[in-house]
Structure 1
Amino acid sequence: MGTIRLGIVGACGRGASFRTACEAMGDIAIEAVCDLQAEALGLAAARLGARRQFTDYAAMLEGCDLDAVIIGTPMQFHVPMAVQALRRDISVLCEVTAGVSIDECRDLVAACKASRGVYMMAENYTYMRPNVIVREMVRRGVFGQTYYGEGEYLHELKALNEKTTWRRTWQTGIAGVTYGTHSLGPLLQWHPGERVTRVCCAGSGHHCRDPRGNTYENDESTVMLCRLGGGGLLKIRVDMLSDRPHA
C-alpha cells in the first residue's frame, strides 16, 4: 500500500494529538480535518497540514477519497462515527472507549465483520515504555506463566468534567468502570492470546458532589474483576473523583 489518505474528526481537540504519530509514520497524508468548531478549524488544518476542512463528518466521508479516519471526538460519538466509516470500507483508529453501551459494541463488531476496513481502538497506555518493558519480560518468560494481573487508573477529573461536559455524563455520570481500557489494554498484552469472558464490578460509594451540589452517579473508586477465557483473573481499579494525584 502507498500513502495512506487520512481524515481526522475532532481535529480541534483530541484529534490534533495524533500529529506526531502521523509524522513519524512518514507514509500518511492528512487529506481532511473535521470539527464543529468552525472558527478554530483553519488553524487546526494548518497545524496538521490538511488540504480540506469540514464541519460535517458525513460530508468529509462523502467528499474525500479516504483510506482511514482518526476519531478523536467525545465518547458517545465513537461508535456512530466508526460505523459510518466502516460501511464505506474506510479503516478506523478510534479514541477510547470503543463505545458507551453493550448494544453499541455489538453494532461496532457487526460493522467490523461486514467491512473491508480495519478497526483499531487507540489505547495509548499499551505503548508507554514501562508497559512495553513488562510485555517484553512476559514474552521472555521472566514471570513464568501469567494468570493474574492488577492495574489502576487514578485520575481526578472533577474540574475537567465542567470543561468537557460529556465526561459528566459518560465517565462520572454512570455507575461502574466507565474508563477501564488504560489498565485493561496493557494487562491483556501481558496475557497474550487471552480475552475477557466474565466481568463483575463493585464501588466504594458516593462521597463527592459536583459544583451544582449533585452526587456523582459513578462511585469514587470502582473495582472490576475480569475472568479470562483461560481461567486467569485481572483486577482493575478506576477512580476519577477522589482528591488524590494522578497515578
Structure 2
Amino acid sequence: MTISNRRSFLKTTTAAGAGLFAAPYIAKAGLSKKSKNGEVNIAFIGVGGRGRGHLKRAASTEGVKVTAFCDIDPEAVEKTQKILSDLGKPEAAVYSDGEHAYLEMLKREDIDGVIISTPWLWHTRMAVATMKAGKYAAVEVSAANTIEECWDLVNTSEETGMPCMILENVNYRRDAMAVMNMVKQGVFGEVVHARCGYRHSLLDVKFNQDLKFGEGAHGEARWRTQHSLTRNADVYPTHGLGPIAAMLDINRGNRFLYLTSTATKAVGLKDYIEEKGGKDHPNAQLPWKQGDIITSVIKTTNGETIIVTHDCNLPRPYSLNFHVAGTDGVTDFDYGHRRIHIEGQSKAHSWDEFQAWQDKYDHPLWKKYGEIANGAGHGGIDYFVTREFINAVKEQRQPVMDVYDAAAWSAVTPLSEASIATGSTPQYFPDFTRGQWIKRKPVEFV
C-alpha cells in the first residue's frame, strides 16, 4: 500500500460521526470478486458449534452464498453440510487436509469474507492470512494472545486495506445497548467508573466427563484448559470489556492507558478434579497456574476506571458483572440482578426497576430486528454480530468493531499476565491507532 493510500485508510476509518458509520477506503482486492448475481461469498475457518452457528445465520441471509469452509474434524464437516442441505443450499467446498488447509481455501477467487471460529492460538495467524489474501476477516474472541499478535492484526489491516472485525457478540446484548444509549444521551451525567467481567463456571467445559483434557479430549477441553495450566492471565476479557469500551468511546476520542492486575491463588481446578476423580488423580497433581479470580483495573486517558474480572475456575452462575457509574446516576445490570438509580428521577437512596429504563432507551437495532434476532443464539445477540460482518462486506466498509478494537480489547490478556508476574505493576497499552484515536469520532451500531 502506498503512503497516500495508507493515509486514506487511516483517515476514512475515523470518518464516522455520531450518526451512521461511514464507509472507508477499502483496497481493490476486496469485493471486486463479487458473484455475478450480486451475492457476497462467505467462507468459514472452523465449523465447530460456534462456527456452525455463524454459518447457519449467514446461509439464511439474503444475498449471501457459503462457498467453502475449512475444518479437520469429519463430524463437523458432516454437520455443516447437513445445515446447508436442510436450508436448501448447495454443498460448500471443503478443505480438511491438515491444520493449514485454510491457506489453500484462501486462494479461491469466490470468497469475499471469512469468519474464523477456531481455538485461540490460531485466531491471529488465520486473520492475518485472510487479509493478505484480499478478503474481509472476522475473528472470534479473543482476537490475539500477545502484544505482537495485536500489532500483527493492525499492521496487516493497514498494509492490505482489508478490515478485520472482532466478533464480540455481547456488544449487541439488549440491556447493554440500552445502557450505551443512556450513556451517549447523558442520562448518567459524566461517567467516571465501570465494571465488567467474565464470571462463568467453565469446569464442565475444561474437562470431559472422564476429567480428560488436551489431546484425545473433545470439545473445548482439547485446547482451552491448557491456558489455565500455563498462563496466569485474564485470557477472556472481551465479553465484558467490549460493551464498556463502546460506551466510553475507546479508540474514538478516548483510549485505554494502563492496567494493573492481581490474581488469587489457583485451587479451583484442583478441587474440582479431586471431587470428581479423587485426590490421587494425576490431573490433581498438575501445577495449575491461572488464579481462580483475576482482577484488572484499567485507567483511560479521559480519567475513567474500569474493573475487569475473570472468574471461570470456581462454581458460579453466569455473570458479566456490568456496572456503570456517573455524576447523575448508576446502574447494575446482569442476568437476575438489574437495577438503576438516576438522581432527581429515582426516589432518594432507592433503586428503580431496570426494565422500564431499558424499554425507554431500547436501541433502534433491537426495535427493528428484535423479533428476528430472538431466534438466534445467546438471546439474539449472535444474530446482530453475524449481520454486522455481512453488511460490512456487502457495503464495502469498516465494521463497527474494527481492527483497533480487536487489538485494544485483546491486549488485556498479555498485559494482565505481565502485571501479575511483576507484582501487579502498571502495564501500559500500546496506542494501536498511532495517535488517530484523538481524531476518530464515536460510532453508532447500525
SS in structure 2 at match of 1:63: coil
Aligned twin of 1:206: 266
Q: Does 1:189 find its partner at 2:230?
A: no
Aligned twin of 1:178: 235
Q: Equivalent residues in 2 for 1:77-226 (5 A)?
A: 77-162=122-207, 163-164=219-220, 165-170=222-227, 173-192=230-249, 193=252, 194-210=254-270, 211=273, 212-213=283-284, 214-226=286-298
CA distance in 2, matches of 1:171, 1:8: 28
SS in structure 2 at match of 1:136: helix
Q: Does 1:15 find its partner at 2:15?
A: no
**Larger RCO, structure (CA 8 Å, separation 6 or more):** 2
Aligned twin of 2:311: 239
1:96/1:181 contact within 8 Å kept: yes
Deviates more, 1:113-122 or 1:72-81: 113-122
Q: Which has the higher strand share?
A: 1
Aligned twin of 1:51: 92
1:186 Cα offset (Å)? 0.7
SS in structure 1 at match of 2:236: coil
CA distance in 2, matches of 1:172, 1:118: 34
CA distance in 1, matches of 2:117, 2:179: 28
Identical residues among aligned pairs (%): 25
2:315 corresponds to which letter in structure 1?
A: D
CA RMSD of aligned residues (A): 1.8
Q: Under a length normalisation based on structure 1, what TM-score does the superposition of the two structures give?
A: 0.93
- Matched length: 247
1:202 Cα offset (Å)? 0.5
CA distance in 1, matches of 2:316, 2:255: 31
CA distance in 1, matches of 2:105, 2:175: 38
Aligned twin of 2:113: 68
Of 70, 78, 93, 1:42 maps to: 78
1:43 Cα offset (Å)? 2.9
Assess, with a 3 A threshold, how the Cα gap between structure 1 residues 103 and 24 changes in structure 2: closer, same or farther: same
2:203/2:269 contact within 8 Å kept: no
CA distance in 1, matches of 2:152, 2:144: 10
1:45/1:53 contact within 8 Å kept: no
1:172/1:240 contact within 8 Å kept: no
1:235 corresponds to which letter in structure 2?
A: I
1:33/1:45 contact within 8 Å kept: no
SS in structure 2 at match of 1:96: coil
1:4 corresponds to which letter in structure 2?
A: V
- Segments of structure 2 that go 5 or more residues without pairing to the other structure are 1-30, 32-37, 208-218, 274-282, 320-446
SS in structure 1 at match of 2:206: helix
1:66 Cα offset (Å)? 1.0
SS in structure 2 at match of 1:141: coil
1:239 Cα offset (Å)? 0.2
1:123 Cα offset (Å)? 0.5
SS in structure 2 at match of 1:198: strand
CA distance in 2, matches of 1:158, 1:215: 17
Q: Under a length normalisation based on structure 2, what TM-score does the superposition of the two structures give?
A: 0.53
1:96 corresponds to which letter in structure 2?
A: V
